[in-house]
């Protein structure tokens, strides 16, 4: 950790376990299918987990108990937003380290995707509540599981939640980029397809399909899982 951070705000995994173990969890993404939920359904769960630039509303619900994010510079949420929405635990997807190098990134001079230490500089305002920082060993395990690709934030959140034996997990607002929409109603542009460690939505879908018995989904994601629809 850098000297500017408050160590007391960073917690061990036991606090995360207590947040999820035996609980009914709603994992809420920002794809357009989140608008399909009936009013009050998302907030009826024991714990509501939201990711990155989430939006709240009648269909999406208004609670956010756990905020899961990579905390990069594209995150527009502020600490004030999180406090307002009731966040009591933050989880950072990215370890506070630099650990992946590739010739592609050296040539492109684009190292932010592999050097995560920048996330923890000048971000003190976010550490207002207990915050769990993913250990590098855990992140590398995900990285290897996806054949050398960085997990999307939603998929990483799912893996973290399932690691603590929740009673149930309902996923909504995830379509793994098929709609080309994110943050509910904003157009999404894919990254550089030549990036060797970018996201791999088809691998994430395959993993979810293999573990579908542990999950429930909104209709859009259910169709993707059931019909082998994989983003191009």
Stretch 212-232: mean pLDDT: 78
Nearest to 120 by CA among 94, 141, 91: 94
Percent of the chain with pLDDT over 90: 44
Q: What residues contact residue 4 under an 8 Å CB cut-off, 6+ apart?
A: 121, 122, 124
Percent of the chain with pLDDT over 70: 76
Domain-wise residue ranges, the chain: 7-227
pTM score of the predicted model: 0.82
* pLDDT tens sequence across 143-154: 888 887 889 999
CATH homologous superfamily for 7-227?
Answer: Alpha-2,3-sialyltransferase (3.90.1480.10)
Strands (E), the chain: 24-28, 47-51, 66-69, 89-92, 131-133, 168-172, 181-182, 186-187, 216-217
pLDDT at 225 over 60: yes
Cα 201 to Cα 53: distance, rounded to the nearest angstrom: 19
In this structure, what is the dihedral angle of CA atoms 217, 222, 225, 229, given to the nearest 10 degrees? -140
Quote the pLDDT of residue 111.
47
Stretch 18-32: mean pLDDT: 95
Cα 196 to Cα 151: distance, rounded to the nearest angstrom: 13
Stretch 12-36: mean pLDDT: 94
């Amino acid at each position: 950790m850098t000297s500017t951070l408050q160590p007391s705000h960073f917690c061990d995994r036991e606090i995360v376990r207590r947040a999820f173990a035996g609980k009914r969890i709603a994992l809420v993404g920002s794809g357009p299918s989140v608008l399909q939920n009936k009013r009050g359904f998302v907030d009826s769960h024991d714990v509501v987990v939201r990711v990155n630039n989430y939006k709240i509303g009648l269909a999406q619900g208004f609670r956010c108990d756990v905020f899961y994010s990579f905390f990069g510079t594209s995150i527009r949420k502020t600490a004030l937003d999180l406090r307002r929405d009731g966040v009591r635990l933050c989880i950072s997807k990215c370890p506070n380290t630099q650990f992946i190098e590739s010739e592609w990134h050296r040539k492109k001079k684009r190292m932010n995707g592999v050097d995560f230490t920048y996330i923890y500089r000048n971000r003190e305002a976010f550490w207002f509540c207990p915050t769990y920082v993913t250990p590098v060993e855990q992140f590398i395990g995900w990285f290897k599981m996806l054949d050398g690709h960085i997990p999307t934030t939603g998929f990483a959140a799912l893996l973290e939640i399932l690691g603590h034996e929740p009673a149930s997990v309902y996923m909504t607002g995830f379509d793994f980029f098929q709609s080309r929409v994110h943050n509910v109603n904003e157009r999404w542009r894919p990254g550089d397809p030549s990036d060797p460690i970018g996201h791999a939505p088809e691998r994430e879908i395959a993993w979810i399909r293999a573990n579908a018995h542990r999950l429930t989904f909104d209709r859009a994601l259910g169709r993707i899982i059931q019909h082998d629809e994989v983003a191009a």
